[in-house]
Amino acid sequence: MAPGNQSESSRSIDQSVIDDPMSPYFLHHSDNPDLVLVSQSLTGDNYSSWSRSMKIALSMKNKFGFVNGTIVKPSEAYSNLLNFWTRNNNIVISLILNSVSKEISASVLFSESAANIWDDIQERFQQSNGPIIFQLRRDLINLRQEQQSVSVYFTKLKALWEELNNFRPMCSCGRCICEGVKKMDAHYQMDYIMTFLMGLNDYSAQIRSQVLLLDPLPPINRVFSLVVQEERQRTIGSQFPSQPSLGHMAFALKNDQSQRQAHVRGPPRFHRERPFCTKCNVNGHTVDTYYKIHGYPPGFKSRGNLIPRPNMITANQVSRPCDSSGDTNANDSPS
């Protein structure tokens, strides 16, 4: 093929690749250097979540090949394609610089390719799995609802759980014929539900018990929906207290009538405690007023009988005067 014909053929191929919307070289009118792909900038500690967000955003724009090295720089023979590669590479560099902190951006500003910047950031901030898994597991254990709503608490839990789930081994071959993958997934879901229920406050104990009694357990989103409904009902109940029942109304009316009658009769009478005798162990008197020790009062009757005093003469005795000779009775001598 003549050089002129080869040059025309390469230009036609280059132009067809550039104009194809499915091509990674295609630039949309929204692709500009000021575009920000992710809401959370890279600061160093959040590399795992940042890289995941950037991979999703770049793949959506069909530009991830410029950072993973699959789209290499064309030779100078394809000048038109090389020009578009340079434009796309610079666009991806701008997207990366807009999604990192100022300190990190200054350290990678003079790199010539997006792939070199991506590899540099990955080497500096990507950690081994051990510390990340340990931190995620610790955050999950310490996470509690406390003063948060159920929705806010579940959102934080879901973010930690999904990040931790990326480090769990998963089968992606698609050729497994046993039920092991399904059983493992069901176990992860059960662990997910248990972690969510354990962090709820104590006032959710009733709905928690109801969920645990279900067999099989519902999906995590269904459990979240049930807990949110229970929280909403409890909030409505606290704002609008329920009407008292007939039994409560009758009891309140009876209590009000009793209070009115007590107010008419006056204050209640207070009964004094009965005295107790430590001598005979009987209520009604004390040892200080015990008659058998200190004597009976004059004219004291016990169950209708008169109790005689020591100097009192009974009805069967006859009082006779004594003579001067000291005889008690002058008629006692025989005649």
Reported as a single tens digit per residue, the pLDDT across 132-152 is 889 889 999 999 999 999 999
Q: Give bridge partners of residue 100 from the DSSP assignment.
A: 42
pLDDT of residue 330: 41
Same domain, 14 and 105: yes
Same domain, 298 and 203: no
DSSP-derived 3-state class of residue 42: strand
End-to-end CA distance of the chain: 194
pLDDT band at residue 317, thresholds of 50, 70 and 90? very low
pLDDT band at residue 247, thresholds of 50, 70 and 90? low
pLDDT band at residue 312, thresholds of 50, 70 and 90? very low
Q: Give bridge partners of residue 230 from the DSSP assignment.
A: none
Residue showing tokens 């003079």 = 110
In a domain, 265, yes or no: no
Same domain, 84 and 158: no
Q: What phi, psi does 249 have (nearest 5°)?
A: -65, -40
Query: How many structural domains is the chain composed of?
Result: 3
pLDDT at 318 over 60: no
Residue 294's domain comprises 272-304
In a domain, 281, yes or no: yes
pLDDT at 94 over 90: yes
Same domain, 26 and 43: yes
In a domain, 34, yes or no: yes
Average pLDDT, the chain: 77
pLDDT band at residue 331, thresholds of 50, 70 and 90? very low
Residue 239: both structure tokens together:
């704002």
In a domain, 317, yes or no: no
pLDDT of residue 276: 78
Same domain, 89 and 12: yes
Cα three-residue angle 106-111-113, rounded to 5 degrees? 135
pLDDT band at residue 311, thresholds of 50, 70 and 90? very low
CA atoms within 13 A on the CB side of 190: 12
Q: Give bridge partners of residue 276 from the DSSP assignment.
A: 283
Same domain, 121 and 231: no
Pairwise CA distance, residues 301 & 296, whole Å? 9
